[in-house]
Amino acid sequence: MEARKELFCNFASQQYPNLKKTMKFIHTLCLTLALAAGCIHAAAQNGKGYFLHTVTKGQSLYSISSMYNVTMEDLVRLNPGCEKQVRAGETLKIPQADNGSNQDKPIFHTIQAGETLYQLTLKYSVTAQAICNANPGLSASNFRTGQVIAIPAQEAVRKPQESLTETAETAPAKMNEWRDMHKVQRKETIFSISRQYGITQEELIAANPELKNGKLKRGTFLFIPYPKSEQKKEEEPAKAPAHTPSNEELFSQSIQPPKSIQTVKAAVLLPFTDNGNRDEQLRMVEYYEGFLIAADSLKRQGVSLDIYAYDTKGNAATAESILSRPEMKTMDVIFGAVSKESIGKLAGFAEKNKVRVVIPFSPEVKQVFRNPYVYQINTPQSYLYSEVYEHFLRKFSKANVVFLDAGTGDRSKDEFVSGMKAELKNGGVAYQTITDADTLKLQAAIDPSRENIFIPTSGKDLALHRLVPILTQVRRSLPEADMHLFGYPEWQTYTQDYLASFYELDTYFYSSFYTNNLFPEAVNFTRSFRQWYSKDMANIFPKYGMLGFDTGYFFLKGLARHGSRLEESLNTVQVTPIQTGFKFERVNNWGGFINRKVFFVHFTKDFELIKLDFD
């Protein structure tokens, strides 16, 4: 073969003397095109085309579209098939939103391998302080490849460099906006630094907008611009700065000094009257009544509080009028908002005025995905399900799982069931589905060597009414079988009818809200509520009086103890919740917090009631 190859090459060079040059040209052309394609691909990732997002646990198409302010249709167009399911670890292309004339909106950047915060300040002509402010969830420890961050608008040029493949060595040399970077030393002033570099104070402040307040902080880095009077020669390359700051240095300079709060100021904005929904009004009043008991408890512990309550009357116009009052800008936290419109008004106010807002009721708060001041108490469905799947697999990884279709026609749990089946499959856990369940089918499904978990595909009372007698009969016919019933949060409202069956069937259900009326904390609170208001709480799920107490106590105590550092200390706020657990996580680097706390409630066959608390 080698001889034939050599013979062919000699023949070709003799017959076609220019062939070698031609082949070399084609090879060079192909290589050039390949490199160009690579640059185009890189530019598309972090340019005007798209950037890349890695899906994390609990995220859905809805939450991803909300956090980037793009439509789900656009996501499906760039990622065919994602409308069926998105999975943790999957990479999606996200269209870079066209802000048009609205230059106040951020753009997004996926951190590439080897990139530093300093390089991004040069690439996008923004300060490190501005990037840190726009991404309160970002730090030197989590600044890593694949993270998406928001790049804020600035007075300076917003567009990235034409080439997005520059290295740490070439990035400073390609940046034409800045001549140098200066690390502020002790006793230096804006005037002295301006004189040192031969520029005016106005030029220095224009390059570093954070200096508008006239204050310098030792150790911070400043951009040093070229003097406007100096025409830089095009052929003269820009100098690399004398010192290239590390991520740790740039992040440390952005940390604001902690501020304590002597008197916590909190407002409650709820529709107490005139919204045409009597049941909702009663729930809102009960929430506020529980909130006041929390405030009273904290005052008895020496916490100083100022509480403001406002009736929004169930319409956004009234809420907007309340938010325009001067005192609202001075609040440390605002609780409330029920309707989508009022949530939007309150979230907008919070972002503009840097005031925390707690949304206690709605499971759909799209603003939490792009507003760092929003706290969502009621866990979004996709995040709730992901927590349930994780805890289920951890506890029942070796179980025989059986889904039971009761034939009710209820489809409300389809998403939960399909997601659970997918997670079981990925985890190597076998499952089966039984329709038209009867005693014989369920007995045949039992594996005597393992735990057996029966999961109805509906959470309705009708499904329990049909399935519980059959399961009970199987339980009694196979007393040695290890079997459990697993279900849904609404089951806690059925305990009066099914309590004995729940114990006999060794039942579990998941929930974000749960209280055992025999718990000492619950007993004490119920007694206090009755003494304060001469009535009992409504028998609904969740109990709004307990919800008001838990949310009020958590945030008021947290602010009193940690002040401006509450966001960094959420997992250290020590409370014993009556009904609502708290496990707050920031949804992304620039968004707010959702509560991901989930309990498993277990009615054991030994007639014990246990709340399984997962960390």
Answer positive or negative: Cα dihedral of 431, 461, 290, 522.
negative
CB 550 within 8 A of CB 584: no
Beta-sheet pairing, 483-487 with 507-511:
parallel
pLDDT tens column, 218-259? 777 777 888 765 544 444 555 555 578 899 988 988 888 899
Rounded CA separation 351/409 (Å): 43
Structure tokens at 57: 């646990």
Report pLDDT for 98.
Answer: 66
Name the phi and psi angles at 402, rounded to 5: -130, 120
CB 510 within 8 A of CB 598: yes
pLDDT tens column, 288-337? 999 999 999 999 999 999 999 999 998 889 999 999 999 999 999 999 99
What's 382-511's CATH class? alpha beta
Domains of the chain by residue range:
2-43, 99-254, 264-379+518-601, 382-511
Report pLDDT for 158.
Answer: 41
Name the phi and psi angles at 91, rounded to 5: -105, 130
Rounded CA separation 568/147 (Å): 20
Report pLDDT for 113.
Answer: 85
Rounded CA separation 20/120 (Å): 45
Report pLDDT for 37.
Answer: 38
316-323 and 340-353 helices, crossing angle to 10°: 20
Burial class of residue 37 (count of CB atoms within 10 Å of its CB; 0-12, 13-18, 19+): exposed
Report pLDDT for 418.
Answer: 94
Name the phi and psi angles at 299, rounded to 5: -65, -35
pTM over 0.85: no
**DSSP strands (E only) in 279-425:** 305-311, 333-336, 356-359, 374-376, 400-405
Cis peptide bond N-terminal to 542, omega within 30? yes
Report pLDDT for 23.
Answer: 47
* Residues in the chain with pLDDT values less than 50: 1-17, 19-44, 101, 155-176, 231-235
Domain 264-379+518-601 matches domain 382-511 at the CATH topology level: yes
Report pLDDT for 383.
Answer: 95
Homologous superfamily, domain 264-379+518-601: Response regulator (3.40.50.2300)
